[in-house]
Amino acid sequence: MPVRSGFRNAVEHSAKPSGQSGQPSDLRYARFLIAVQVLRLIGLSLIPLLQNNTLPASFVIPTVIGDASTAVTAPIVAYSLGRGGPKTWAASLVWNGLGLADLFYAQTLAYVTGTTTYLFGSDPLILFGAYLAAIFHIVTFILLLRKKTINRLFRQ
Tens digits of per-residue pLDDT, 57-100?
A: 888 899 899 999 999 999 999 999 888 788 899 999 999 999 99
* Dihedral class, residue 100 (left if φ above 0, else alpha if ψ from -120 to 50, else beta): alpha
- Whether the pLDDT of residue 19 is over 70: the answer is no
- In this predicted structure, what is the pLDDT of residue 22? 60
Per-residue pLDDT at 18 exceeds 70: no
85: left (phi over 0), alpha (psi -120 to 50) or beta: left
Lowest mean pLDDT of 11-15, 27-31, 114-118, name the range. 11-15
Contacts (Cβ under 8 Å, ≥6 apart) of 84: 152, 153, 156
Give the pLDDT confidence score for residue 94 in this predicted structure.
95
Is the pLDDT assigned to residue 137 strictly greater than 60?
yes
Predicted pLDDT at 102: 93
User: Is-contact 78 35, C-beta < 8 A?
Assistant: yes
Residue 16 has pLDDT above 60, yes or no: no
pLDDT in tens, 41-51: 888 888 888 89
Angle, helix 86-113 to helix 124-144, in steps of 10 degrees: 150
pLDDT exceeds cutoff 80 at 20: no
Query: Could you tell me if 96 and 131 are in contact, meaning their C-beta atoms sit under 8 angstroms apart?
Result: no
Separation between Cα atoms, residue 112 and residue 151, nearest integer Å: 43
Q: Note the pLDDT of residue 140.
A: 93
Q: Are 110 and 147 in contact (CB under 8 A)?
A: no
Q: What is the pTM of this model?
A: 0.76
pLDDT tens per residue across span 124-136: 677 787 888 999 9
Is the separation of the CB atoms in 35 and 94 below 8 Å?
no
Contact assessment for residue 92 and residue 26, using Cβ atoms and an 8 Å cutoff = no
